[in-house]
Amino acid sequence: MFLNSAAKRQSNDESFGDLFTVVGQHSGAVGLSQAKRFGIIPSRVVSVLSNNSDDVPARTRAVDELKILLDDPHNIHHIVPHFDGLVEFVGSLLDDQNIKVSSGAIDVFAALVRRLPRKLVALNADTLVTILCRRLGDTNGFSRESVTKIFIQLMHIASSASILNSLCAVGLSHRNDRVRQETINLVIVALLTFPSLDFDLPHIAKTVAIALIDERRPVRQAALECYAVLAQALGRSKRSVLMGYISEVEARNGGGSDLTAAVNARLDNHQLPKQDSSGLVQYATYLNRFSGSSAPTPDVAWILSASAGHGSSAKSPASSRMSARSFGSSVPDLPDDSQPFGSSRLRRSARRGFSRLPWDSEVKYRL
């Protein structure tokens, strides 16, 4: 049902001109007198969202109108020819200072993935992953959860292997440590959700290995938990494959055996992380079970040797928890020079005998 624009329009809707106020779920007749952008969106809506004005109510109404239009299945066929331009426009709204606009942009991406033809979404999945990945580091937990749900949906639409490869290529080298952690959590959930045959498990292990020497505790913990899941999936007879990648990381970064001891300790603990009903990954490693004269196990010592990092979003089975929200997928069998992390990307860490990682020269984190 639509309110008559002449008789029912409220005073605070003036900035929308002929854009009608929508009530209910139908939106096909909205803004019929206006020029359209991207096939269906009134140009005035695009203008209001693009001008970064201080008119918060007007911009909030505009993004709400955008969500209604794009979530209407009757409108989707108008959008298909304008997919690239629309994705670029909505992507620019993800960093909007108005949280209602930025969160609304995530909802728009969710609607596009849900409504657009599966073939079109699959063909453009890499672009969507690249645009949305940075929002895994959002301080707003609801926004992070919404983005991870989109990634999961993409994995069911496109190849889970290709989605994870795209995600790891962007997420594991991201300067935001929360993005790096959430990327690994996505890998964990994928391994817990999809059949092992869907994955090139050794390739995943090689890709994730770099995160084991990350300078942030949450990232190291996520990586150790991921290796525990990988070890279970590969079987005990192939544990040497995992340890081979650990030895390579240590050899390229000055030697030492602390990392090997840490991974062995975690793999000897046969309890695996799990995903709860809310979608959170529950880590199996207790970080605060050692007190007084009790010495931590090598895996916990390795995690604690890094800096604390951000306040995490997932669950660890202890009161001071290092965890994060999670969802994830698989990786294809790619040649070494196409891996997200070849030997040229490895650096020595500043902790435990390793120097800084590639992004450390760009951004300094507060402890």
pLDDT digits (tens, 9 = 90+) for 177-187: 999 999 999 99
Specify the domain boundaries for CATH 1.25.10 within the chain: 163-367
Predicted local distance difference test score (pLDDT) of residue 334: 33
Short-list 198, 159, 13, CA closest to 3: 13
Give backbone dihedrals phi and psi of 215, rounded to 5 degrees, phi first: -80, -5
297 secondary structure, DSSP code = P
How big is the chain by its Cα radius of gyration, in Å?
Answer: 23
pLDDT in tens, 185-203: 999 989 998 888 899 999 9
Global confidence as pTM: 0.74
Longest dimension (CA), the chain: 77
Please, what CATH class does the domain formed by 163-367 belong to? Answer: mainly alpha
pLDDT band at 276 (very low <50, low <70, confident <90, very high): confident
pLDDT in tens, 5-39: 444 444 444 444 443 334 344 444 444 446 899 99
Query: Is 24 exposed, middle or buried, given 0-12, 13-18 or 19+ CB atoms closer than 10 A?
Result: exposed
